Amino acid sequence: MTTAGKVITWSSVIAVIALAGFIFFKFCFVYSEGVNEGDINYFQKEGFVFKTYEGKMIQTGLKNTKVQGSIQSNEFKFSVVDEKVAQKLNEGTNTGVKLHWKRYLGTLPWRGNSQFIVDSVYVAPHR
């Protein structure tokens, strides 16, 4: 094998390894995980080719501003992959829920429109 052939071979191997590493960290690496609590604003199944569950939760809390007692509202947009989790979430739409999620750096069409993928649901105690 010539020197040029070796350079091309090693460059190709390095490029393939770099691409595989990028794809893993972008789409498979769990960047963070946590729990959010609030009230479900909407939850629906949508999509043309890949049907995914998408939802939005409203989290209320006290705003830390100069106006005493003002209330802020944060939106938490999420996706659900597991059918059982989606069914449990549909049952708890009129009550407060806690959502355990995992955050990925990138989205995939079959995983949903959000980086936040909910993997379990708990009905929150009545506030």
Give me the pLDDT at residue 53, please. Answer: 94
Give me the pLDDT at residue 68, please. Answer: 62
Overall average pLDDT of the 55-82 stretch: 76
Quickly state the pLDDT bin for 114 (edges 50, 70, 90).
very high
- Six-digit token pair at 51? 């049907």
The domains of the chain, with CATH numbers, are 32-123 (2.40.50.140)
Tell me the pTM: 0.74
* 26-56 pLDDT per residue, tens: 888 898 999 998 888 889 999 889 999 999 9
* pLDDT of 108 higher than 60: yes
Overall average pLDDT of the 81-107 stretch: 87
